[in-house]
A = this chain, B = another copy of it.
Amino acid sequence: MIYFNCDYNEGAHPKILERLGATNWEQTPGYGEDAYCEAAARLIREKCERADAAVHFLVGGTQTNLTAVTAVLRPYQGVVSADTGHINTHETGAIEACGHKVLAIPSADGKVTAAEVEALCTAHETDATHEHMVQPGMLYLSHPTEVGTLYTRAELEALRAVCTAHRLVLYLDGARLGYGLRAPGSDVTLPLLADLCDLFYIGGTKQGALFGEALVIANPALQKDFRYLIKQKGGMLAKGRLLGIQFQTLMEDDLYLTMSRHAIDQAQRIRCVCEEKGIQFAYPPQTNQLFLILPDEKIAALGKSYQLSPWGRADEEHSIVRVCTSWATKTEHVDALLRDLGDGKC
């Protein structure tokens, strides 16, 4: 059985394991105050071209999201998100458990537009009873989105302008950021994100680390006392150096982007065969997540050899399955899948 169901099926890039082994007996301070965390943070600041950014390392995505949202919002504020956003659908109400409503905008492609956010904010501000309603305080984007789609630089700039006009903090969830940065045709870069976002995170868990996300707080006004909240929310790893070592490894020699590129290349091969064979996609196949619309019997047949992720029905005879590649995807596994999809030449 070959797993294409998600991008966190394997462990970590061997260099990470090697580095963990090499440093194992070193004695370091705890809680992220070691030299590895500092080195990793420095590398990230450099790549973001933001010397004044604060960088924090957390263990996972839900933890990072809930900590960031809690740090930023006033108690009566909510976070605007596509209804498909991870914080709205797959975090068991973590944001609400921290006291905040997710103000969901219906989305067909995982994205929200500047016009939609503008309309939501204006509706709030002009409502005579706005004090009886949750005030929008933050915009949550994911890039790539939950369905693998990407924002363009122009779209992000327009969203930034709306956020500035309506005093929303702009937060970007980059759980799969590397796959977005290496997607063909994308004009989004780390310096751009550091410039447009108040804060965002660079995902590690789905990008070749054992675990870990690097939160970049680009806006100095939001940096104060953040470590108190990491601790309170249970995200301060005692052996914080594990996160520093992993991100240092990922950031050196562009390993992060190299690994991302591998996943994208493999995804493009699958996309190519699908297009040859006339297989439709439920969402534009831009990154490492592909949402294939296949006949139910084909899905059943594939299910004997491959673990795919069911994503709902398309019509009476077709369903959607998510196929994920990752930094760890083996070329021969994709070879096999392509054969079983119809033996294209990609």
Contact = CB atoms under 8 A, between A and B. Distances in A.
B8 A238 contact: yes
A234 to B, nearest CB: 3
B133 A92 contact: yes
Interface in A287-310: 307, 310
A24 B9 contact: no
B90 A101 contact: no
Contacts of A75: 70-71, 97-98, 229, 232
A179 to B, nearest CB: 15
A94 interface: yes
A90 B132 contact: yes
Nearest to A13: B24
A338 B145 CA distance: 55
A284 interface: no
A272 interface: no
A59 B62 contact: no
A2 interface: yes
Interface string A297-327: 0000000000100100000000000000000
B234 A233 contact: yes
A92 B70 contact: no
A277 interface: no
Contacts of A116: none
B225 A76 contact: yes
A100 B75 CA distance: 12
A319 to B, nearest CB: 14
Contacts of A60: 234, 236-238
Contacts of A236: 60, 62, 132
Given A10-B26, A26-B10, A93-B134, A76 B229 contact: yes
A25 B11 contact: yes
Contacts of A107: none
Nearest to A330: B25
Nearest to A4: B27
Interface in A62-78: 62-63, 66-67, 70-71, 74-76, 78
B26 A97 contact: no
Interface string A257-275: 0000000000000000000
A47 interface: no
Interface of A: 1-3, 6, 8-12, 14, 17, 20-21, 23-31, 59-63, 66-67, 70-71, 74-76, 78, 89-94, 96-102, 128-129, 131-135, 205-206, 210-211, 225, 227-229, 231-239, 242, 307, 310, 328
10 contacts: A9-B28, A10-B27, A11-B25, A11-B26, A20-B210, A75-B229, A131-B227, A206-B238, A210-B239, A211-B239
